[in-house]
Structure 1
């Protein structure tokens, strides 16, 4: 079992790591002593702001990597950049995700390619590229899935399909990469509201269906990531649902 002071030289790579859940995970792992590699696609301002914030706490502890993860041919080179910079990789958090409605009858191929690409294809090829480095450190992979991987979200069939695939990817890689690499997933419920407009009536309807009667905080996900990193040495191939009990009533 890793202790917090064992994390001071360890390295975590978080995709989509500069905003929302990714930033919360980054702050939490950084506070535990880990060095970070934070990927972003378009959020350059947020990326440099978070890097500056964390460097104020511990200098030279955050490497930023800008990339479109759909360009899978570049992912191996990205991994090499991490190894060249830090010399190791201990944790891969596949957090980057596209999310938007795709009503049946209106879905175009670019939407399919984007949603399957960011939520399933990129995590697979990133994991494949990271596997040798994670094996060397007996590290782990953590995938951010969704409660809608099992209970499809209305008007979001492509997204739900992609996240269901990511659950199977988690289980498959746990078998393929054991015993040296553990692979698990986290399925958030109502943690952060979508970036597009959601009216208060809809928010309250969702909250009323949750046994704990509240939405969760990003720190709940970050703490679960930390648990899987250094307190879950005998857990692999599992999905931990963090939803306040919401799936019990659907």
Structure 2
């Protein structure tokens, strides 16, 4: 994705997006800015965060945050409120995902706790500290889950459990915070979230695209467009739901030959 400073005027609404400096999170940020949102990028990567926010222009700013640490969440949210005086949307995208997990018998409890801390406790803490301000403006929350909440590969227990838990947290929050705050989840499948240069250097195979009923691997814009809709007033009757963005793969029956 090419970053260009935004020249648009703000629509008066403020969104906080975690895990925002690369990949899907960055795609969501760019889409929201294009729609006139003021977006606060939250991430643990201070150096890249400041650089990305500057590149995106005046409608973007950065706050350092480890979402698994309640004191950092509280301070980050306070910083947002101190600067803008309001919060209209929260997108919980920050996550740990390691495709090369160890076998179950070698799974370290520390690793398990770390993944659940970022992927599940993080969204809880953010909802806890953001909810009073979201309620004041009838805001919305979108949690970024995963199709791994429904399907698994070997040795992915921590990630699968965290994303499954996030779906449960989503509908629990929707009931607890309604009607003032809507809460939904988006579960991406295979999304090519690499930079343009990385995609050009190592193009995905035709087979990778063709296996999807939609005919291609997903793009960050596919997720970002849905998130933006869920945050908007156009989705005012939608809450407590999961939206799968995977090109139809979870509906495809697959048997080995």
Alignment TM-score, normalising by the size of structure 1: 0.88
Q: CA deviation at 1:245?
A: 0.2
Aligned-residue RMSD, C-alpha: 2.2
Q: For the residues of structure 2 that align with 1:49 and 1:237, how far apart are their CA atoms?
A: 35
Q: For the residues of structure 1 that align with 2:30 and 2:148, how far apart are their CA atoms?
A: 26
1:174-197 residue CA offsets vs partner (Å, 9 max, x unmatched): 0000000000010001112699xx
Residue in 2 that maps onto 1:37: 40
Q: CA deviation at 1:46?
A: 2.6
Q: Secondary structure at the match of 2:15?
A: strand
Distance 1:175 1:85, change over 3 A: same
Residue in 2 that maps onto 1:220: 222
| Alignment gaps of 5+ in structure 1 | none
Contact (CA 8 Å) 1:153, 1:160: kept in 2 or not? no
Q: Secondary structure at the match of 1:88?
A: coil
Q: Secondary structure at the match of 1:225?
A: helix
Greater mean deviation of Cα atoms: 67-76 or 120-129: 67-76
Q: For the residues of structure 2 that align with 1:181 and 1:7, how far apart are their CA atoms?
A: 22
Which one of the candidate residues 9, 12, 15 is aligned to 1:12? 15
Q: Are residue 161 (structure 1) and residue 164 (structure 2) matched? A: no
| Alignment gaps of 5+ in structure 2 | 1-7, 196-201
Q: CA deviation at 1:154?
A: 2.4
Residue in 2 that maps onto 1:181: 181
Residue in 1 that maps onto 2:4: none
Residue in 1 that maps onto 2:25: 22
Contact (CA 8 Å) 1:120, 1:165: kept in 2 or not? yes
1:81-130 residue CA offsets vs partner (Å, 9 max, x unmatched): 11100000000000000001242111101111111011100100111111
Q: Are residue 248 (structure 1) and residue 251 (structure 2) matched? A: yes
What is the number of equivalent residue pairs in this alignment? 236
Greater mean deviation of Cα atoms: 86-95 or 45-54: 45-54
Q: CA deviation at 1:6?
A: 11
1:47-105 residue CA offsets vs partner (Å, 9 max, x unmatched): 223212221xxx3x222111222212332222111110000000000000000124211
Which one of the candidate residues 61, 73, 84 is aligned to 1:63? 61
